[in-house]
Amino acid sequence: MEEQRADLQQVKQVDAMVASPLDLLFNPKSVAIVGATPRENSVGGVITKNLLTKFKGKVYLVNPKYDEVNGTKYYKSVLDIQDNVDLAVIAVPAPAVLKVTEESIKKGVRVVIIISGGFSEVGEDGAKLEEELRRVVQNHIRVLGPNCIGVYNAFNGLDTFFLPEDRMGRPRPGPVALISQSGAVAGAILDWAARRNIGVGLAVNYGNKLDISESEILEYFARDNRVKVIVMYMEGLKYPGEGKKLLEVMKEVSSIKPIVVYKAGRTKAATGAVKSHTAALAGNYEIYHAMLRQANVIEADNITDAFDMAKALATQPLPRGNRVLVLTDSGGMGIQAVDALDMRGLQVPELSESLQEILRKQLPPLAVTRNPIDLTGSATDAMYKFVLDTVLPTSYADMALIIALMQIPGLSINLGNYIVEAGRFKKPIVVVSFGGNEYVAKFENNLEENGIPVYHAPHRAAKALWALYEYAKIKGVAKEW
């Protein structure tokens, strides 16, 4: 009976998602591109190519300049399309946006993405135009933007990012969702993630936030089971009093899944740049910092840290405490790891004498067994496996930071399999690997493909473990020793 109730609740949630305008924003069955064009490398041209070649639904091209191009029909107006249109992507000059939006309302389109810039981000005249647009859309249609690059959905091929694929790589489908206040930053992040094989299934840039805000998008991502962790790039809030709503939503969503935020515009010098960028209020960073802390989100110092944390949060179990096993084949790297962990409030406890005695019987005479455990240049795959199997099940380790410099001759690609097998202990594991040869790449790819995050420096791995511990505290599953 309880299972039936749970199933019914799940069906209701799915039905609610299907009926919502935000679901049509990310999962439309049909899209009209207003401002479509065959001109390559133009804004409308890139969006047209993206949707025609990748989107799994119907695509309608709207531009009064064309009747047909390469066998594809063009419509003079969205009103001329006989079928239903779930989503309209508007990429026309700012003065024409109002008319196109009014036509979309008449057509019965429920959501529009306004790519066009030239609104409040450019000054007083643009702000007046944006206010007029607000009056047109109020209670009639939902709007993402204006001044945005829109939505990227790796699961269904919806891609309104107008950056050519040779300039911006598209990430594979994966458990990370990105919400970015800046379009250019969103594009750069996706390109960066694609080059590193990080799965970003959903991404959205909301621009001037005339209607749909980050709060609504957060709530939507909270309901999507494909999303395991949400990364936010944030510059500032646009309207006074907006922070209270965002705080409430973040608190609610972070109780379901982790949110990692990088807040840019922290200094006084950056305040003016934030305002001119997306007409946002940068405000005092300390206020934002306090709000984010109260909202139970994990704050990153930069976008690289944010994704380092997201990789671990998306793949690893939560720890029960802050004790870390550091296992290395390089004493120097081990010392760096201990420094980085200690700076984040994580412990590297010395192992008991009895446990060290067990290790000493199997490890080389020069190996250090206290923790960090240094296998030295004599390390082999079997030694790593032995230490993991011996120490990870004990109360001395809530997590493991493994440093494997594959230049050592005793190590092979098979070490990755032993590390993956250690996942059976249900404790988070991160790996530090450093180098650029093919052998190292194979080792790293094997780990990443099997859900073990790899980092190229100890401090990055330490921050990832810290994020896991922070979220474990937020969820109430971890304690501090």
> Helix count (H) and strand count (E) of the chain?
17, 19
The phi-psi region of residue 425 (left if phi > 0; otherwise alpha if psi is between -120 and 50; otherwise beta) is: alpha
DSSP state of 393: T
474 confidence band (pLDDT: 50, 70, 90): very high
Q: Are 320 and 472 in contact (CB under 8 A)?
A: yes
> Which residues are CB-neighbours of 62 under 8 A, at least 6 positions away?
32, 33, 34, 35, 36, 74, 75, 76, 77, 78, 80, 81
Q: Are 149 and 114 in contact (CB under 8 A)?
A: no
Distance between CA atoms of residues 280 and 110, nearest Å? 26
Distance between CA atoms of residues 108 and 32, nearest Å? 12
Q: Are 371 and 396 in contact (CB under 8 A)?
A: yes
Considering the chain, what percentage of its residues have pLDDT values greater than 90?
Answer: 86
The reply to whether omega before 372 is within 30° of 0 (cis) is yes
In the chain, domain spans = 2-313, 318-475
Give the range among 158-162, 289-293, 328-332, 386-390 with minimum mean pLDDT. Answer: 289-293
What per-residue confidence (pLDDT) applies to 184? 95
What per-residue confidence (pLDDT) applies to 6? 45
Residue from 174, 145, 173 nearest 160 by CA:
145
- State the sign of the Cα–Cα–Cα–Cα dihedral 48, 52, 54, 59: positive
236 confidence band (pLDDT: 50, 70, 90): confident
Q: What is the pTM of this model?
A: 0.91
Mean pLDDT of 152-176: 97
Mean pLDDT of 286-300: 93
141 confidence band (pLDDT: 50, 70, 90): very high
Please give the torsion angle defined by the CA atoms of residues 410, 413, 415 and 416, in that order, rounded to the nearest 10 degrees.
160
DSSP state of 406: T
Given a cut of 60, whether residue 105 has pLDDT beyond it is yes
User: Of residues 20 and 106, which shows the higher confidence score?
Assistant: 106
Mean pLDDT of 300-329: 97
Q: Provide φ and ψ at 262, rounded to 5°.
A: -110, 110
Given a cut of 70, whether residue 195 has pLDDT beyond it is yes
271 confidence band (pLDDT: 50, 70, 90): low
Q: Which helix (H) or strand (E) holds 159?
A: strand 158-159
Q: Provide φ and ψ at 112, rounded to 5°.
A: -125, 145
Given a cut of 70, whether residue 468 has pLDDT beyond it is yes
Q: Provide φ and ψ at 159, rounded to 5°.
A: -150, 100
266 confidence band (pLDDT: 50, 70, 90): confident
Are domains 2-313 and 318-475 of this chain identical in fold?
yes
Residue from 115, 281, 267, 279 nearest 187 by CA:
115
Which homologous superfamily is 2-313 in?
Answer: Succinyl-CoA synthetase domains (3.40.50.261)
- State the sign of the Cα–Cα–Cα–Cα dihedral 133, 135, 140, 146: positive
What per-residue confidence (pLDDT) applies to 186? 97
480 confidence band (pLDDT: 50, 70, 90): low
Given a cut of 90, whether residue 16 has pLDDT beyond it is no
What per-residue confidence (pLDDT) applies to 285? 81
126 confidence band (pLDDT: 50, 70, 90): very high
Average pLDDT value for the chain: 92
Q: Cα–Cα–Cα angle for 84, 86, 87, nearest 5°?
A: 130
267 confidence band (pLDDT: 50, 70, 90): low
Q: What are the C-alpha distances in Å from 16 to residues 87, 143, 379?
A: 18, 19, 55
Given a cut of 90, whether residue 15 has pLDDT beyond it is no
DSSP state of 171: P
User: Of residues 270 and 401, which shows the higher confidence score?
Assistant: 401
What per-residue confidence (pLDDT) applies to 32? 98
Instruction: Assign domain 318-475 to its CATH architecture.
Output: 3-Layer(aba) Sandwich (3.40)
What per-residue confidence (pLDDT) applies to 4? 39
> Which residues are CB-neighbours of 241 under 8 A, at least 6 positions away?
none
What per-residue confidence (pLDDT) applies to 17? 43
The reply to whether omega before 175 is within 30° of 0 (cis) is no
Given a cut of 90, whether residue 300 has pLDDT beyond it is yes
Mean pLDDT of 243-253: 95
DSSP state of 422: G
> Which residues are CB-neighbours of 5 under 8 A, at least 6 positions away?
none
Residue from 303, 175, 158, 184 nearest 232 by CA:
303
- State the sign of the Cα–Cα–Cα–Cα dihedral 217, 220, 226, 230: positive
The phi-psi region of residue 195 (left if phi > 0; otherwise alpha if psi is between -120 and 50; otherwise beta) is: alpha
Q: Provide φ and ψ at 259, rounded to 5°.
A: -120, 125
Distance between CA atoms of residues 471 and 479, nearest Å? 12
As to burial, measured by CB atoms within 10 angstroms (0-12 exposed, 13-18 middle, 19+ buried), residue 2 is exposed
